[in-house]
Structure 1
């Protein structure tokens, strides 16, 4: 029977391999480190002028909160009274309106048309109004209750997003609302 002899290379201690590797590849490592960290250092040295900042001119103030609360209250007054033109004028030209059980309505003119097709109301009230914002963006939430002339009623909640224009005026840019009542089975 023939004998098979296998030989294995002798194991090299890890510290020798590591030190050998570092000695031969240190220039490459330094170059790679410079390539990775160099741009980060340069970015850190840039001016912050291009970053958005909140200044006294754009800070969200208590007066802004009151103005937006007033816009929500004006919605109850104008929409509830059927004054859809005044109601729709609170919306930005590119506003998005998401009524329940209907497709999204985009643009102030289309939002006005939606309002003009809405069934007449006896009353519309908003409660639990909250407003929060920062800079030129803000949002509001509320609960609503409405009574229709045909004696139906509805209650639900809404989310309203506001944006301040460069001239300092606030406009509604998005609204989404939905009913708390279960869907009708008809």
Structure 2
């Protein structure tokens, strides 16, 4: 009997675990469009120097995880961090991958950026990659809850918000 109980336990455990696997569902067009709009509007706000609007595309408890710097947590702290960036004159983000399941999703993006640090003789050009985790809000919009990025350029540190 102990062998049968053990075998039954394994079978039931296997069935239970197989039932826990996430079911991949296709992202609805409305959700895909809403995420693209959020990314586009964040980009436009950054170009306009409207850091309050840019930060509003993060959840209230959102986090930015910049390279070579501590985590920035909370919408107000994110706004302050963004406001410290040098003047941005060109910024483009392209979504390379986008997935969601329920109210949680992620996007992998690439970016190109031109900024003018104070006192610099020439603009600073950068390109790199971004991962954002998004949460769907009750009104159907998607906000970033976590965002991390880094440059593709060797030895480049462009995230310092203090010049």
State the TM-score, normalizing by the size of structure 1: 0.66
State the TM-score, normalizing by the size of structure 2: 0.75
Which structure has the greater CA radius of gyration?
Answer: 1
1:65 to 29, 32, 37: 32
Equivalenced residue count is 149
Work out the CA distance in 2 between the residues paired with 1:70 and 1:146. Answer: 19
Give the corresponding residue for 1:116.
Answer: 83
Pairing 1:181–2:153 present: yes
Matched residue of 1:118: which SS?
coil
Pairing 1:172–2:144 present: yes
Bigger relative contact order (CA 8 A; separation at least 6): 2
Give the corresponding residue for 1:93.
Answer: 60
The structural deviation recorded for 1:127 is 2.7
Pairing 1:107–2:74 present: yes
Work out the CA distance in 1 between the residues paired with 2:143 and 2:95. Answer: 21
The structural deviation recorded for 1:34 is 7.3
